[in-house]
Amino acid sequence: MTPLILAATEDANQRFASFDVPTWVWIAFVVFISILLLIDVLLVHRKPHVISFREAAIESSVWIAIGLAFTIVILSWQGGQAAGEYLAGYLIEKSLSVDNVFVWAVILSYFAVPPQFQFRVLFWGIFGALVLRAVFIFAGVALIERFDWILYVFGAFLVFTAFRIARHQDVEVHPENNPVLKVVRKIVPSTTEYDGQKLFTRVSGRLLATPLFAVLILIESTDVVFAVDSIPAILAVSREPFIVFSSNAFAILGLRALYFLLAGMAGRFRYLNIGLGVILGFVGVKMLIHNQVHFPIWLSLTVIGVVLAITIWASLWADKRESAATGESTASEE
């Protein structure tokens, strides 16, 4: 690496929070995340049941509160810059994960998964997503530290993705065409019958995968696609692995509750694609001009927060106006 590129890389790294994280802190954090998952699956959702809108709203609020509260932990531990980067990463991941939720809805609907069994398969999906995100994060940080030019690749990819998302409102998913699912079905003996929450069951003494296993494979494979978008986006606001992983982890942990809260409301967020496109475009441009212009973390937070607020308000307002117009039209016909 030439001295000029090395100097630019070091200067860019100094703009982000950077600190040593002891091994015991990593272990403690993973244990904490594991405890939250175990409490959720063994206590809160020990028995399979249909999750109501009210229950999903309460659980989603709790998960969001936990994720936001961790900002205080980062603030007291490493200061305002690190806390701002964590919050920006959390908001980016949380906003991008809404599309993930709608994709889950398509997959679960395609396989006609009984509502009372959906939580368990999503639990394993979340567990796998955490492992995959950890791999993507450490690989991404290592690439940036080794090859500074990779930032331009990430930036260009995010700008391209921003245009792609902004131009397509509806989430198009065709589970039957998923190449991963086709391969799994060829090599893993399967049954078309559900057996409660089991991923595998025995039929005439033969171990077979249930449709829930196919659902899990689809959820994990689609998460890889979403991670390709979200990880570069978060690396635009932070380069510290602990901040990137923790913000990802807390955003992902609440996805199950968010799914049961929003799965039937995809049509009400008609402008979500535009908002996500603007956010991805912003962070992509940040990466492309990182050596020329530095965006302070407060500006990134402001842009993300304002875009999300406008997107949600405009979507709900348009939905309300359309409902009122439909009601007036129905009344006039009668």
Convert 234-292 into a string of H (helix), E (strand) and C (coil): HCCCCCCHHHHHHHHHHHHHCHHHHHHHHHHHHHHCCCHHHHHHHHHHHHHHHHHCCCC
Q: Which of 15, 48, 58, 76 is nearest to 240 (CA)?
A: 15
- The answer to whether 144 and 138 are in contact (CB under 8 A) is no
The C-alpha atoms of residue 265 and residue 149 are separated, in whole angstroms, by: 40
Confidence band, pLDDT 50/70/90 cuts, at residue 264: low
303 occurs within a structural domain: yes
Which of 1-10, 98-107, 250-259, 322-331 is predicted with the least confidence, judged by mean pLDDT?
1-10
The C-alpha atoms of residue 282 and residue 95 are separated, in whole angstroms, by: 14
Its domain, for residue 162, covers 3-318
Please report how the helices 241-253 and 53-78 are oriented relative to each other, as an axis angle in degrees rounded to 10: 160
The C-alpha atoms of residue 219 and residue 104 are separated, in whole angstroms, by: 7
Q: pLDDT: is 39 or 328 the higher one? A: 39
324 occurs within a structural domain: no
pLDDT at 1 over 50: no
328 occurs within a structural domain: no
pLDDT of residue 45: 77
In the block, residue with structure tokens 């703009």: 15
pLDDT of residue 4: 39
The C-alpha atoms of residue 94 and residue 116 are separated, in whole angstroms, by: 25
Q: Return the percentage of the chain with pLDDT > 90, whole number.
A: 15
The C-alpha atoms of residue 277 and residue 275 are separated, in whole angstroms, by: 5
166 occurs within a structural domain: yes
Q: How many helices (H) and strands (E) does the chain have?
A: 12, 2
120 occurs within a structural domain: yes
- Report pLDDT digits (tens) over 287-297: 788 677 777 77
pLDDT of residue 168: 64
333 occurs within a structural domain: no
pLDDT of residue 27: 94
pLDDT of residue 180: 65
70 occurs within a structural domain: yes
Domain count, the chain: 1
Encoded amino acid at 10, one letter: E
325 occurs within a structural domain: no
Average pLDDT in the chain: 79
pLDDT at 26 over 90: yes
Tokens of 80: 């305002």
The C-alpha atoms of residue 263 and residue 315 are separated, in whole angstroms, by: 16
Confidence band, pLDDT 50/70/90 cuts, at residue 213: confident
